[in-house]
A and B are shown apart, each in its own frame.
Chain A
């Protein structure tokens, strides 16, 4: 999605924290999402944040939203090998989702 940008690759050591960043353009988006795609599978909704929030925590996941800078981040604490996947940032726009290119996270032992 040309309106949503994210870095393409992240390598992290098992047990460390991962931080994936994303910038978006549509300030009218009601929700912003993080999807996870494991090899050979479809996208699964990982977490989301409502646009009037600036932080959301869900177990090992922390989402931070900076509306002024249109910046979204996903932090995964205590990264595990099962967290290796592609992570997509997405914004909603009139019933459609615009996705970033995806960040491939590789967890090394």
Chain B
């Protein structure tokens, strides 16, 4: 089975530009999570969805960040306008509820550099 797929793997952009990160969860999983990883803050949960509905977006840093999940197999995280402090690795993870072992499966991440 394919794991969680993220694109692009690397993104370099200039301050002020719009950035869109993409995620395809594992087929059949009903939860999707977006995380950000930086040296200073470690791994932060930004937002998560259950059955395509945003449940908790309290980790989204500010209004420049938005996330959508139009269907069960696709989600986007958008930053507009981007700033240098947004530079980080962004991970998407998915989870299947009701399993004996409750865990999340992570994608390989998108490394974002904002110049």
| Chain A interface (Cβ < 8 Å from any Cβ of B) | 1, 30-31, 33, 35, 40-45, 48, 88, 92, 95-97, 99-102
Contacts and interface: CB of A to CB of B under 8 A. Distances in A.
A20 to B, nearest CB: 15
Interface in B56-94: 56, 91, 93
Interface of B: 4, 31, 33, 42-43, 45, 48, 50, 55-56, 91, 93, 95, 97, 101-109
B101 A95 contact: no
B108 A99 contact: no
Given A95-B48, A95-B50, A42 B43 contact: no
A41 B103 contact: no
Given A42-B91, A96-B56, A48 B42 contact: no
B80 to A, nearest CB: 25
Nearest to A50: B101
A42 B23 CA distance: 13
Contact of B43 (A44, A45, A99): A99
Contacts of A1: 42-43
Contact of B42 (A31, A33, A96, A101): A101
Contact of B107 (A35, A42, A96): A42
A95 B43 contact: no
Contacts of A31: 101-103
A38 to B, nearest CB: 10
Nearest to A95: B31
Contacts of B101: 31, 48
A33 B103 contact: yes
5 closest cross-chain pairs (CB), A and B: A42-B106, A101-B42, A43-B106, A99-B43, A42-B108
Contacts of B103: 31, 33, 45, 48
A92 B105 CA distance: 14
Contacts of B31: 95
B102 A30 contact: yes
B42 A42 contact: no
A16 to B, nearest CB: 27
